[in-house]
Amino acid sequence: MSADRILLTNDDGVDAAGLRALYEALADEYAVTVVAPADDQSSVGRRLSEDVAVDDHELGYVVDGTPVDCVVAGLDELVTDADAVIAGCNEGANLGAYTLGRSGTVSAAVEAAFFGVPAVATSMYVPGGDDWWKREFEPKDFAHAVRATRFLLDEAADAGVFDRADYLNVNAPIADADRAPLRVTTPSTWYGMRAEQNGDGRVGFSDPIWGRMNEGNVPDPVGTDRRAVVDGEVSVSPLSVPHAAEPNAGLDELVDAYEAAIRS
């Protein structure tokens, strides 16, 4: 890749094992500057603060804010010569179209895309029950995610990938197998969020897909991100920044009708 300087961020916080694993894998060839949140900012989406505190860190900078804060501060002030942004490695997968807007990891890559900077969001799927997030991770757990991210950073730009895609969303299985092939995917469109009143004036939310993933029983065909990870593959989805306009949505006639209505 025709890149020298990398801005590395995440949403798990500057001390997360996944960020350190990526840093150590990239820093031998690239000039890597970390601009990461001070603490866990999972599922904050594209939240932007009014201002943030920034402190020096042994790997770059620590920001008292969100992943998007980190990218905006990084690309426009702290690391203005960054050639690419890497977000991750997230401890937990970001799979399915409906999760992408919530993810701080993916949102960091989206923000970079608005700056015109190529980006890769990398996450690791961890199977288990509701308390999987309590697990202590080691660098070896991230081996598939790290290997795929490094390969894509090295090769994607020269292959013209970023001429057609704004960012890549990578999801890798935890490295409990020696090999995880790479598969190009699209985000699953399956949606199954549930809401349930709990009797004390509150409503709880749940997503049944994670239990189905543990069983290998997912409603997704080959070629989708979730199916790839369940099958032990590394999913890479080439994506564009959101909110593309659709010029043929049938609104032109409604504009004329609205104009007529407000004149009557």
Per the annotation, binding residues for a divalent metal cation are: 11-12, 42, 90
Show the CA angle centred on residue 173, arms to residues 142 and 228, nearest 5°: 145
The sign of the dihedral angle between the CA atoms of 231, 148, 188, 226 is positive
The CA-atom distances, in angstroms, between 1 and each of 35, 106, 147, 220 are 21, 21, 15, 33
Query: Before 89, cis peptide (omega within 30)?
Result: yes
Rounded CA gap, 122 and 171, in Å? 6
Binding site as annotated, residues: 11-12, 42, 90
Residue 248 burial by Cβ neighbours in a 10 Å radius (0-12, 13-18, 19+): exposed
| The one-letter amino acid at 213 | M
The CA-atom distances, in angstroms, between 7 and each of 26, 56, 91, 128, 148 are 11, 15, 19, 31, 17
Q: Quick one: which of 95, 90, 108 has its CA closest to 149?
A: 90
Other CB atoms within 10 Å distance of the CB of residue 29: 14
With tokens 């426009």, the residue in question is 76
With tokens 């004036």, the residue in question is 201
Determine what percent of the chain falls in helix, strand and coil, rounding each to the nearest 5: 35, 25, 45
